[in-house]
Amino acid sequence: MICNHKEIEKHNLEGGIIVQVLGVCKNMNVLHWDLEDQSIIKNHTHPQEQFGFIIKGQLDMTISGKKYSVKAGDAYFIPANAEHSFIAVGDSEAIDVFSPIKRKYANPNIDIILDNVIKNNKPNS
């Protein structure tokens, strides 16, 4: 699958946060975030592991009670079920990868898409 960032629908989550679902496959999904200065993603948990990469700006984050500042070029890993939150410092942009799929940010047709991915990715017998 190839994703053209400019053609992917943007979802305004309010509070200066815009997310795009770049792609979904059998075991993960990838999101692109645009965050306005001082926008906040409140403390939360989820059963997925999360990898993130900062493209632009800075995120001040708390993971399991420990504070970090990550800047453009930095990456982070968040274990499954770890409490975490983010505050954008300056206009910021990031990519997140979730595994297994974080269904909250999956396509409404996720089950059909996954069936097709699974069928198309089976090894030849």
Q: Does 1 reside within a domain?
A: no
Q: Does 75 reside within a domain?
A: yes
Q: Does 5 reside within a domain?
A: no
pTM greater than 0.75 (yes/no):
yes
Residue 121 scores a pLDDT above 70: no
What is the 3-state secondary structure of the chain?
CCCCHHHCCCEECCCCEEEEEEEECCCCEEEEEEECCCCEEEEECCCCEEEEEEEEEEEEEEECCEEEEEECCCEEEECCCCCEEEEEEEEEEEEEEEECCCHHHCCCCHHHHHHHHHHHCCCCC
The angle subtended at Cα 79 by Cα 20 and Cα 86, nearest 5°, is 50
Structure tokens at 79: 């274990």
Domain count within the chain: 1
The pLDDT confidence band at residue 38, using thresholds 50, 70 and 90, is very high
Q: Does 112 reside within a domain?
A: yes
Q: Does 41 reside within a domain?
A: yes
Which residue range(s) make up the domain with 103? Answer: 11-120
Mind listing the pLDDT tens digit for each residue in 40-98?
Answer: 999 999 999 999 999 999 999 999 999 999 999 999 999 999 999 999 999 999 999 99
Q: Does 106 reside within a domain?
A: yes
Instruction: Say how far apart CA 55 and CA 32 lie, in whole Å.
Output: 10
**CATH number of the domain within which 98 lies:** 2.60.120.10
Burial of 53 (0-12, 13-18, 19+ CB in 10 A): middle
Predicted pLDDT of residue 106? 61
Q: Residues, the chain, total?
A: 125
Instruction: Say how far apart CA 91 and CA 65 lie, in whole Å.
Output: 24
Q: Does 6 reside within a domain?
A: no
Q: Does 4 reside within a domain?
A: no
